[in-house]
Structure 1
Amino acid sequence: MEKEMIVSSTGNTVEVALLEDGALVEIHRQRSTDQFTVGDVFVGQVTRVTAPLNAAFVDIGHKKDAFLHYTDLGPKVRSLQKFAKTTAAGKNPTAQLDNFVMEPEIVKTGKIDEVFKKKDIIMTQVLKEPISTKGPRLSCEITIPGRFLVMTPFNDSVAVSKKISTSEERKRLHVLIESIRPKNFGVIVRTAAEGKGVSELLEEVEILTAKWETIYEAAKTAKAPAKLLSEVDKTTGLLRDLLTPDFSRIVVDDKDLFETVRKYVTEISPKKANIVQLHKGPKPIFDHYSITKQIKSSFGKTATMPSGAYIVIEHTEAMHTIDVNSGNKMPSQNQAEAVLKINMEAAEEIARQLRLRDIGGIIVIDFIDMRDAEHRKEVASAMRKAMKNDRAQHTVLPLSKFGLMQITRQRVRPEVKITTAEKCPTCNGTGKINATILLTDDIERDLNFIMEARPKAKLKLKVHPYVAAYLKRGMPSTQMKWYLKYYRWLQIVQDGDFPITTYKFFDADDEEIKMS
């Protein structure tokens, strides 16, 4: 299987597309203004403890309080909190845990109010990004991930990935790690560590220990809410987690990001440095590699397969449902084999769609009915095989007697939703728009309100290029008149994707200022 990573950098947004044999399987987007990513370590303050939920809400600086459930505290939470408090008080002379006196573990069936109370200062890590109306989810089991190893402070266990091929190799790695890990630090050995020697793994242990030192140094002076350690950006994070010998190409369209990626790849795998390429073509990188076309064809309600069969993906509050349809090309003879072929093809496409859209929770699939029990087993086996490369935790159940398959898939980040409907963005299909001459009145009305509400904020107005040209035309221009009126300069940015009657205001952090 040929694997490629295509990275597009535009302004403050980076988009990463993963291709397998040319097919788009994952797409990730990250803005440089994002407050945090999964894996960031914070010191936060408990704002509310809720006994019925057995959880606490924690202020980590996000607009919504983060959610910390008792089951995510980890058995060593008291030791972590003791370390955080003594470090902040200047009573910890070192980040090392050799002489650290561990606290008793908490019980699995305990209550959150036995551990935390309102206004407690806690050290925690982002476990999941905000989803829908929910804030980020937190964990007190701090993990520091690397290319080959994951280090877990206040732990003594060594775990080796079950995906490592042989029991002899797993045993070798277990013994090796036991001999080099720092005291009171647990280690999880990742699949990428297979075949690695002591020098490479020892170097990784030193890198991860240095990150723990960074947390320690930041915790000395941090005032909640504050970030203690930033996870790597999405591009290098994906490289760390995904880069394997079968990666054939990494293409980046930004020179600075290209240098960063090439440096990172050189450090972790010098032999793979030549697979990193800088895109210099006239076409946008996503257009050049047909990613834009795949996005448009993959994110609708219906996804069509090469045979002409198609699947329909529906989202409800409780679950996702997927219906498999044969289309109009079902042969009249040997229908059982034809149905099996369509269902097998659908299993691969569904597995791709789950990764691509990052659909989580409960998924129910209605395959085309199959009477042969062996055929049902084949489809279930094909689905498990197709989802083998999915990094999210998942469970695939056999088909029920009604021909339904149930899948549960871990939800870590918000589901990827891209609107592909072709509808006039200006009139929304009504055929009517407001007179353009009135648009400047609407802009000035909102601008007047924002100027009063945010007297010192730097502002940016984003509009269609025609409107931008109109506002900047003449001497004095409308833009200059606004400056003379408010004594503050309003930056005007044109965006060709905007409908002509649409405008948006943004602050200095590029966050949209919404008018209620």
Structure 2
Amino acid sequence: MKKTVKKQLLMNKSGDEIQVALVEDGRLAELVIERPDSLRSIGDIYLGRVHKVVEGLKAAFVDIGQKSDGFLHFSDVGTTNEDYRALIEDDEDDENGALEGEDVEKNDDVQAESKPRASEKAPRSATPERKRQSYTQMIAGKLKANDSILVQVIKEPISNKGSRLTSDITIAGRFMVLLPFGGGQIAVSRRVVSRKERSRLKKLVRSILPEGFGAIIRTVAENQEEELLKKDLEKLLVKWQQIEEKLQDAKPPQLIFKEDTIISSVLRDSLNSDVTELVANCPSIYKETLNYILWAAPEMEKNVTLYQGKLPLFEGYGIAKDVESIFSRKVWLKSGGYIIIEHTEAMVVVDVNSGRYAAKKEQEENSLKTNLEAAREVVRQLRLRDIGGIIVVDFIDMLDQKNSKKVFDSMKTELRHDRAKSNILPLSDFGLMQITRERIRPSLMQRMGDQCPACGGSGVVQARYTTINQIERWLRKYALQRKVMFQKLDLYVSPTVAEPLCDEERKTEMKWFLQHMLFVKIKSDESLRSDDFRFYLQKNNKEITSEFSDL
């Protein structure tokens, strides 16, 4: 029997920041945050200008008005032009041409990646290599610098990388995703398992879908009445009409369509019958939520409430500590073990440790119990922190292959609850598990935190004695090249470096005078990092550090 998970959506507004938390069985599972300086851009549609086409990368860089050019891979170029349609092969099935795209199976909530791409099809007579070469040449031949092109954001900018773009436009609704250039293609989420219901939904949508449009039918459409689906489609068609009207006078780069508000987006993607409570601490958010519920799921109106508690919303529901834990490297397990989460440039590494857990059982059984608990917590942390890309988990070594399979199966089961797409490999002989998780925006830790000015994000600062050695090398070099004897210098260093230098027993200033015939006055400056120092001439306060630096 499937276990029912109690879910709550908590919508908290604090100043200009909006936080939406998904709580499962009393624990924070997902957290979405939006600030004026970091608005969500997934799903936004732009009229862009092609900056340059790089055939070697099979991609174009498109100016959409953001800090960095967007990245448009040739495989993400739409197939609306007649020249591109020559590459498309008619795909018919028992439902009169309806397609069941593989990408719809796991995550039908991701817009542009949720539908089958016509651009990935080629005539049966073409070999795969010839197909790729032909397609690349055709796209490269059509895309030119300064061309205008309608594109949609499918991945937000991460670090110094621009947005990932597609010209296969999609508009997501509550029950379906509209494909303006879908050519009559209809796909159904594979989470809808009943063949009878799948057939009903396809026939229903096909009967109301305008000619030339396509659609992906989402999981929440299962068993819904025709009237609700019609209303959803009408709203999507109105949005597309507004896009077409705005395009008539648009000049690139220009934003053409902005995705729904964070509240509407979360309700659209997360609302289902498992959600037992929707709580807002702000009247405007409460009203927006209630209006959406009255349209999409009127039977859930009683579940929407305006928070009246004395404590802050997250404190009142006991998840404030979970929010704070997002910045912690160490996450404790109930058994006494813990996991360490480390972010690197290339991947995220998770280390599992048994900690103080040592039951009166065999080591193998202890390791299995800790690893199983860690597998559940790792997936929870991936969802909570919105970690994407490559993740490597170093589990505690186990000798029995059956136990390794149990950990692998447990991880697969937990990942099924995650809306983001992921791939997972069994444990290697070294006890390592490799996971890839869909990344469409910077992780929550990156969005909520700033890089440490002291360590530059590495988590490690230079030892103060290393800085002292660098200072002494600088003095030796300066003493050899100076033209005036007995000069007076001021040395500014951080307080941590100044402490050992000013130690009376070391008599650093006297030592340097005897060694280099220089009068050096050591001064503390809290604005400097522990790996930094500054030398100034006392007579005119001129900085001379860089002139004689060998670092």
Contact 1:79 1:154 in 2 (8 A): no
User: How big is the shift at 1:79?
Assistant: 8.4
2:242 aligned residue? 214
Contact 1:36 1:230 in 2 (8 A): no
Is 1:342 aligned to 2:370, yes or no?
A: yes
Is 1:183 aligned to 2:187, yes or no?
A: no
* Amino acid in structure 2 at the alignment position of 1:367: F
Report the Cα distance in structure 2 between the residues aligned to 1:79 and 1:262, rounded to whole angstroms.
47
2:540 aligned residue? none
1:127 aligned residue? 154
Q: From 3, 8, 11, give the equivalent of 2:15.
A: 11
Matched residue of 2:272: which SS? Answer: coil
Q: In terms of mean alpha carbon deviation, does 383-392 or 106-115 score higher?
A: 106-115
Task: Please list the CA deviations of residues 398-448 of structure 1 after superposition, one character each: whole Å capped at 9, or x if unmatched.
Answer: 212222111111110101115699999xxxx9xxxxxxxxxxxxxxxxxxx
Report the Cα distance in structure 1 between the residues aligned to 2:362 and 2:398, rounded to whole angstroms.
12
Is 1:276 aligned to 2:314, yes or no?
A: no
User: How big is the shift at 1:77?
Assistant: 5.7
Q: From 265, 269, 280, give the equivalent of 2:293.
A: 265
1:468 aligned residue? none
Q: From 379, 383, 392, give the equivalent of 2:411.
A: 383
Report the Cα distance in structure 2 between the residues aligned to 1:402 and 1:260, rounded to whole angstroms.
51
Report the Cα distance in structure 1 between the residues aligned to 2:15 and 2:61, rounded to whole angstroms.
34
Report the Cα distance in structure 2 between the residues aligned to 1:157 and 1:371, rounded to whole angstroms.
50
Q: From 15, 23, 29, give the equivalent of 1:25.
A: 29
Structure 1, unaligned runs of 5 or more: 82-101, 430-500, 502-516
Is 1:240 aligned to 2:268, yes or no?
A: yes
Contact 2:228 2:296 in 1 (8 A): no
Task: Please list the CA deviations of residues 27-47 of structure 1 after superposition, one character each: whole Å capped at 9, or x if unmatched.
Answer: 111124556621111111112
Query: For residues 63 and 13 of structure 1, do their structure 2 counterparts lie closer, same or farther at Cα, with a shift above 3 Å needed?
Result: same
Report the Cα distance in structure 1 between the residues aligned to 2:452 and 2:332, rounded to whole angstroms.
18
* Amino acid in structure 2 at the alignment position of 1:124: V
User: How big is the shift at 1:176?
Assistant: 2.1
Q: From 223, 226, 229, give the equivalent of 2:257.
A: 229
Contact 1:315 1:321 in 2 (8 A): yes
Matches of residues 456-495 of structure 1 in structure 2 within 5 Å? none
Task: Please list the CA deviations of residues 252-276 of structure 1 after superposition, one character each: whole Å capped at 9, or x if unmatched.
Answer: 1111121111111111101112212
2:90 aligned residue? none
How many residues align? The count is 408
Query: For residues 419 and 58 of structure 1, do their structure 2 counterparts lie closer, same or farther at Cα, with a shift above 3 Å needed?
Result: closer
Report the Cα distance in structure 2 between the residues aligned to 1:421 and 1:333, rounded to whole angstroms.
44
Contact 1:154 1:186 in 2 (8 A): yes
Is 1:63 aligned to 2:61, yes or no?
A: no
Matched residue of 2:368: which SS? Answer: helix
Matched residue of 2:187: which SS? Answer: strand
1:110 aligned residue? 136
Report the Cα distance in structure 2 between the residues aligned to 1:330 and 1:114, rounded to whole angstroms.
65
Query: For residues 277 and 77 of structure 1, do their structure 2 counterparts lie closer, same or farther at Cα, with a shift above 3 Å needed?
Result: farther
Task: Please list the CA deviations of residues 70-117 of structure 1 after superposition, one character each: whole Å capped at 9, or x if unmatched.
Answer: 121133366899xxxxxxxxxxxxxxxxxxxx99x9965414422211
Matched residue of 1:221: which SS? Answer: coil
Q: From 146, 151, 163, give the equivalent of 1:136.
A: 163
Query: For residues 230 and 262 of structure 1, do their structure 2 counterparts lie closer, same or farther at Cα, with a shift above 3 Å needed?
Result: same
Query: For residues 299 and 78 of structure 1, do their structure 2 counterparts lie closer, same or farther at Cα, with a shift above 3 Å needed?
Result: farther
Report the Cα distance in structure 1 between the residues aligned to 2:45 and 2:451, rounded to whole angstroms.
39
Task: Please list the CA deviations of residues 426-482 of structure 1 after superposition, one character each: whole Å capped at 9, or x if unmatched.
Answer: xxx9xxxxxxxxxxxxxxxxxxxxxxxxxxxxxxxxxxxxxxxxxxxxxxxxxxxxx
Matched residue of 1:56: which SS? Answer: strand
Question: Which of these two proteins has the greater Rg computed from alpha carbons?
Answer: 2
Q: Calculate the TM-score normalised by the size of structure 2.
A: 0.69
2:382 aligned residue? 354
Task: Please list the CA deviations of residues 360-402 of structure 1 after superposition, one character each: whole Å capped at 9, or x if unmatched.
Answer: 1111111112222222221111111111121111011121222
Contact 2:263 2:285 in 1 (8 A): no
User: How big is the shift at 1:51?
Assistant: 2.2
User: How big is the shift at 1:338?
Assistant: 2.2
User: How big is the shift at 1:214?
Assistant: 1.1
1:465 aligned residue? none
Report the Cα distance in structure 2 between the residues aligned to 1:297 and 1:420, rounded to whole angstroms.
16
Report the Cα distance in structure 1 between the residues aligned to 2:78 and 2:452, rounded to whole angstroms.
48
Structure 2, unaligned runs of 5 or more: 86-117, 123-130, 455-460, 462-526, 528-551
Q: CA RMSD in A?
A: 2.9
2:197 aligned residue? 169
Query: For residues 27 and 78 of structure 1, do their structure 2 counterparts lie closer, same or farther at Cα, with a shift above 3 Å needed?
Result: farther
Matched residue of 1:231: which SS? Answer: coil
User: How big is the shift at 1:50?
Assistant: 2.0
1:159 aligned residue? 187
* Amino acid in structure 1 at the alignment position of 2:296: I
Report the Cα distance in structure 2 between the residues aligned to 1:419 and 1:34, rounded to whole angstroms.
12
Task: Please list the CA deviations of residues 204-243 of structure 1 after superposition, one character each: whole Å capped at 9, or x if unmatched.
Answer: 2222111111111111111212222111011210100110
Q: In terms of mean alpha carbon deviation, does 179-188 or 71-80 score higher?
A: 71-80
1:47 aligned residue? 51
Q: From 376, 395, 398, give the equivalent of 1:367.
A: 395
Report the Cα distance in structure 2 between the residues aligned to 1:77 and 1:110, rounded to whole angstroms.
15
User: How big is the shift at 1:332?
Assistant: 4.2
Contact 1:80 1:154 in 2 (8 A): no
Taking every aligned residue pair, what percent have the same amino acid on both sides? 41
Matched residue of 2:248: which SS? Answer: helix
* Amino acid in structure 2 at the alignment position of 1:398: P
Contact 2:338 2:352 in 1 (8 A): yes
Query: For residues 15 and 284 of structure 1, do their structure 2 counterparts lie closer, same or farther at Cα, with a shift above 3 Å needed?
Result: same
Report the Cα distance in structure 2 between the residues aligned to 1:315 and 1:422, rounded to whole angstroms.
14
Matches of residues 322-341 of structure 1 in structure 2 within 5 Å? 322-341=350-369
Report the Cα distance in structure 2 between the residues aligned to 1:347 and 1:23, rounded to whole angstroms.
16
Query: For residues 115 and 366 of structure 1, do their structure 2 counterparts lie closer, same or farther at Cα, with a shift above 3 Å needed?
Result: same
Q: Calculate the TM-score normalised by the size of structure 1.
A: 0.74
